[in-house]
Chains A and B, each alone.
Chain A
Amino acid sequence: MINIFDVAYLIPLFPFLGFLINGLGRKVISKSLTGMIGSGVIFISFCLSIIVFLDVSREGFIPQNIEYFSFINIGKLNIPFEFQVDQLTSLFLLIITGVGFLIHVYSTSYMKEEDRSGYGRYFSFLNLFVFSMLLLVMGGNYVIMFMGWEGVGLCSYLLIGFWFKNNSFNNAAKKAFIMNRIGDFGFILGIFWLINSFGTTSYHQLFNTATGIPFLVTTKNSTVLTGISLLLFLGATGKSAQIPLYTWLPDAMAGPTPVSALIHAATMVTAGIYMIARSNILYTMAPFTMMVVAIIGLATAIFAAIIALKQNDIKKVLAYSTVSQLGYMFLGLGVGAYSAAVFHVMTHAFFKALLFLGAGSVIHAMGGEQDIHKMGGLGKKMKITYVTFFIACLAIAGLPPFSGFFSKDEILAVAFSKNPLFYIIGVAGALLTAFYMFRLLALTFAGKFRGTEDQLHHVHESPSAMTFPLICLAVLAAIGGLVGIPGVLLKNGDRLGDFLSPVFADSNKILAANTTSPQTGIVLMCVSSILILIVCIWAWKKYKNYDGSTKEAGAFTRAMQNKFYIDELYELIFVKPLKVFSGFLSNVVEKSGIDALVNGVGKGINYSSRQIRLLQSGMVGSYILLMVVGLLLLLIIQLFTK
């Protein structure tokens, strides 16, 4: 029997093959075959991931490190091309390939209207994305992770700008890539610093948990660790859309909706969380960074939630909601609840992918309309979409027993033990989440239809290739949380936490244990759940019978609608000055500085030659005179310098 870890490279290889086949054969392969290849390769990877998962969850499993070849090997620096498979990796593998497969299936129908080569291009990009994402989570060192990291960024760029005829889409794509690059700037500097301090980037050398003590990492002073962890975190803020680099994610909604579901909700944006969870010891050893991570996460969670309250584009609401949920995950990481954060990544992948796919279904039915003011009453015509969307809303709002409740509550419980203020703000954010989600739900599916007559006729339930993933995800979103029932409710209920605990064992040793008593925990849980329920009902009531009338908005509301003018602010303080400065360099420093200097030397020589030329008067007499004067000078020098 073959050891699955010997063939672990097959997991990313299949999507890569799919990319090659679909990409190169996009003009010859028929659309149905393209869809089949595209989804099929992901399905194979999914099956392999399940086998890996089963193997990993065995008793007595030790992390597997598989080295393929030497990527860079010069003297003291050796960076092998290696994979590492452990509990964290196997969980991410399941999320990526599982959700990825469903979204591929959904796409086969959603992208039907593309022509053959566009269809092939779409699936090849999507497969390439899955390949890069798998590389990211399977990589055995930071350099391989960075390969996947940049790879997913590239795919995100290509897919946001998939309809490249539209220049505003292209701008969004470019913005996403550049914002990510700013993050990557920090990430790669962090890698350089790691190499500089430890001489290696391999996880198994940096954080060797087999012996019970974190390896190299403990040997360095805290300044270095703080510096490295902060730089890596900058990378995470870029990829996972946190303050200050979050503005690309809402714009990224320009891409096709399944892309938003896969890349900008379920998988790519959680790469930052994966990275921090992977380097958890590094962060645990740097308390200052933990604080920064927690505060940034919390700030993002609440800030994005506020913006989401007043967005009218169905995808924009979901985008800000994603930013906000990612903030929760960072809050979890920042307070040391690593496994809770990863748990939330998982549940979030289920319900947010579901929300996006549901939104895609709605947009599909509405013929491309995305403004929720022009929807309404769709629940009657699109039963499956409506029900699944409703489940997702319950899950994201955090109502028990849906999945979001367990993961969010676990994060908030740890946050409470760290600092009650974190908890209060976190719950406030959760209330906002509940409000905007039910506003969205009510405006879209309840009340009267507010669109045009044409659209009304067009509205229909989506085909089964689209509803099937919706149903699957809805089931997962509903019950997915049950793998992590907190210990206070059910003894040994936190199966996921136990599964992941080897990965975080060392950090948990260092971190202070949760000091909240079980009673307090249950009280908090109840209070927050009741509050959320009230807000949900309130929002539903308020917007159920929305009739399309708009009130004059106040100043604060206008600011919210305009996303607090953050884009404009960045434009004003970064982009404009850079442009002006570059223009200054190009037009002033280069032209009248350096080039003028160089040309000036030439001109100077030219001028002085013109002057000296006058000595050549053409008068033989004057030449002789000069000669005689010269001779006399030589004579005098000869006489007086002795």
Chain B
Amino acid sequence: MLGTYYTFPELLLWIPLLTGVIVFFIKNSKTVKTFALLSSLATLAVSVISLCYSDVAHNPEYLVYSNVSYVWMPYIGASFSVGLDGMGFLLTFLTAFTLPLIFAATHKREYANANVYYGLMLLFQGGLMGVFIAMDALVFYFFWELALIPAYFLCSRWGGELRIRVTFKFFIYTFISSLLMLIGIIYVYLHTSPVSPLSEHSFYLKSFYNAALSTSEQYGVFWLFFVAFAVKMPIFPFHSWQPALYEQAPDSTVMILSGIMVKMGIFGMIRWLLPIFPGAVEKYDTLVITLCVVSILYASCIALVQSDLKRIVAWSSIAHIGLMGAAIFAHNETSLQGAIIEMLNHGINIIALWIVVDIIEKKTGIRKISELGGLALKSPSLAIFFLIIVLANIALPLTSGFVGEFLMFTGVFEYNKWLAAFACISIILSATYMLNMMQKVFFGVSNSLTENVTAISTGQKLVLSVFVIAIVTLGVYPGPVLHLTQGTVTDILQSFK
């Protein structure tokens, strides 16, 4: 034993936040990059070590064991309490695991004001970590908003031509919905029972779970939370900020946005929405799943006719997220397990996909799939990596995508056969648009635009290999991950009994 493990959830938070602030004051852009990479590696190390202690995740009392709690605002019943359960372990690991890879993949890129860029990236990571480890509603909300701020600046300063417009839309969208959630949090807060004599109510997670909300109150407040999470995910019809933002955001930011930030919404649904409003979830589940299925099919259809690489990836992401939403609202063991493991798998897949898309864009300068072609001749290893990532994305067995989708579909099927059947059409559509992209970009003969493309560098090969190994490992042997999150799922499902 490495002594007490109480500090791990905290370290995951403070390392990126502190180093993020320090990076602002470093002038040399080379040093900035190295420092940011080191910082993210340190976070990864902490995350990996904390996984060694993940046994607590199976203990129903995990909230007591791995919880760090400071007095924060005792008179309103808010404490700065953070902790890790199985799902928390998984998502903090995803965040810690992908960030060094993102930094490594974009290492060659020069950003104006690199110190600010990397500082914001690390703060972004800190905010995300905070969301995943929060055990207190106010802390959760605090980090929820904190994560938004670096995202806003990253996109609006380093993005593409239309960045201001698009980022503004994104900001307003998510900010308004977050405020709705704040109202919801306060409403639930007012119905909680105290945990200390200093205040009448409490923001503590378990107090929220046990809040005395009548069914009719649940029906109303449910939507306040739901909209906040649905916008972040996003689910149809709250998605319109997403494709444009993904198109405009700078390369490494979009990887975090699509790989990790959207998981905040899914995570929030599992951690906060389901256990607090079981009555409302049971009332509205069919409605929400229908919405999610519409989201899946709608996004898949639109992806079919997109010609921009980034847009295809963005819409495919919406389709996948829709499935996760449907699985969450099917609220049975299988579907929830599927949704949780898919958060990890989708994070890894989509970031890998963005890295390849980014490499293609940087090598050729174009994103239109009709203008590309023949890249497999010019860079065979890139084609192989891309193929494996695409296969994971269309959930081929023995890649990571399959396990999550299989469980989610099984769970949704258990809930309702027809909804599952409609959602399942996406496996046909996703194969269509993904393979179409594969063919247009990599196969065929090269044209004047792709004539001078060179093979990818060893560094890029290494980064992509890590992703591919993760994809295959998770696809062949997902047992440990499922085992890790079992406790969380059991815990959440208890509120439905």
Contacts and interface: CB of A to CB of B under 8 A. Distances in A.
Contacts, number: 135
Interface stretch (B59-67, B99-107, B477-485): B477-485
A117 B298 CA distance: 41
B336 to A, nearest CB: 9
B237 A195 contact: no
Contacts of A73: 479, 482-483
B15 interface: no
Interface stretch (A35-43, A163-171, A207-215, A329-337): A163-171
A186 B205 CA distance: 42
A317 B428 CA distance: 29
A195 B410 CA distance: 8
Interface string A567-608: 000000000001101110110011000110111001000000
B435 A72 contact: no
Given A178-B431, A594-B237, A69 B301 contact: no
Contact of A154 (B377, B396, B421, B443): B396
B428 A586 contact: no
Interface stretch (B49-57, B72-80, B207-215, B412-420): B412-420
Given A74-B333, A174-B439, A582-B305, A181 B403 contact: no
A98 B275 CA distance: 57
A143 B406 contact: yes
A382 interface: no
A82 interface: no
**A167, A188, A583 — most chain B CB neighbours (10 Å):** A188
Contacts of B305: 579, 582-583, 586
Interface string A185-219: 10011001101100000000000000000000000
B486 interface: yes
Nearest to B438: A174
A70 interface: yes
Interface in A22-73: 69-73
Nearest to A70: B479
A575 to B, nearest CB: 10
Interface stretch (A105-113, A144-152, A385-393, A472-480): A144-152
B11 interface: no
A32 to B, nearest CB: 22
A551 to B, nearest CB: 38
A554 interface: no
B180 interface: no
Which label, helix, strand, loop or mixed, suits the secondary structure of the B interface? helix
A196 B444 contact: no
A189 B413 contact: yes
Contact of B391 (A117, A154, A161, A578): A154
Given A174-B439, A196-B413, A595-B240, A147 B333 contact: no
B169 interface: yes
Given A185-B424, A188-B409, A582-B301, A164 B444 contact: yes
A182 interface: yes
A599 B301 CA distance: 23
B445 interface: yes
B428 A181 contact: yes
B77 to A, nearest CB: 35
A174 B438 CA distance: 10
B397 to A, nearest CB: 4
Contact of B427 (A69, A166, A184): A184
Given A69-B477, A147-B397, A147-B398, A189 B421 contact: yes
A438 interface: no
Given A188-B409, A578-B304, A71 B479 contact: yes
A177 interface: yes
A185 B444 contact: no
B169 to A, nearest CB: 7
Given A74-B333, A192-B413, A586 B444 contact: no
Contacts of A117: 380
Contact of A590 (B240, B428, B431): B240
B306 A164 contact: no
A178 B428 contact: yes
Chain A interface extent, by class: 35 or more
Nearest to B376: A164
Contacts of B240: 590, 594-595, 598
Contacts of A75: 333-334, 486
B410 A174 contact: no
B88 interface: no
A248 to B, nearest CB: 13
A77 interface: yes
A494 to B, nearest CB: 37
Nearest to A145: B397
A76 interface: yes
B397 A174 contact: no
Contacts of A583: 305
B172 interface: yes
B81 interface: no
Contacts of B443: 161, 164-165, 167, 170
Given A165-B377, A181-B427, A185-B424, A170 B398 contact: no
Nearest to A180: B431
Contact of A146 (B397, B414, B432): B397
Contacts of A590: 240, 302
Nearest to A157: B435
B337 interface: yes
A174 B434 CA distance: 10
A582 B406 contact: no
A174 B436 contact: yes
B374 interface: yes
Contacts of A578: 301, 304
A595 B403 CA distance: 34
A165 B444 contact: yes
Contacts of B374: 165
A117 B398 CA distance: 25
A185 B428 contact: yes
Interface string B145-178: 0000000000000000000000001001100000
A151 B39 CA distance: 40
A88 to B, nearest CB: 22
Contact of A582 (B304, B407, B482): B304
B413 A72 contact: no
**B431, B478, B483 — most chain A CB neighbours (10 Å):** B431
Nearest to A153: B396
A346 to B, nearest CB: 27
B469 interface: no
Interface in A128-166: 143, 146-147, 150-151, 154, 157, 161, 164-166
B413 A181 contact: no
Given A76-B333, A147-B397, A154-B396, A585 B298 contact: yes
A597 B173 CA distance: 13
Contacts of B391: 154
B410 A579 contact: no
Nearest to A77: B334
A322 to B, nearest CB: 23
A494 B201 CA distance: 81
B425 interface: yes
29 contacts: A72-B407, A72-B478, A73-B482, A74-B482, A75-B333, A76-B333, A117-B380, A157-B435, A161-B443, A164-B443, A165-B443, A165-B445, A167-B439, A167-B443, A170-B443, A178-B431, A181-B431, A181-B432, A184-B427, A193-B413, A195-B413, A196-B413, A578-B304, A583-B305, A586-B305, A595-B240, A598-B241, A602-B169, A602-B172
Q: Which 7 A-B pairs have the closest CB atoms?
A: A147-B397, A192-B413, A164-B443, A582-B301, A582-B305, A582-B304, A181-B431
Given A72-B406, A589-B298, 4 more contacts: A154-B391, A178-B435, A185-B425, A582-B305
Interface of A: 69-77, 117, 143, 146-147, 150-151, 154, 157, 161, 164-167, 170-171, 174, 177-178, 181-182, 184-185, 188-189, 192-193, 195-196, 578-579, 581-583, 585-586, 589-590, 594-595, 597-599, 602
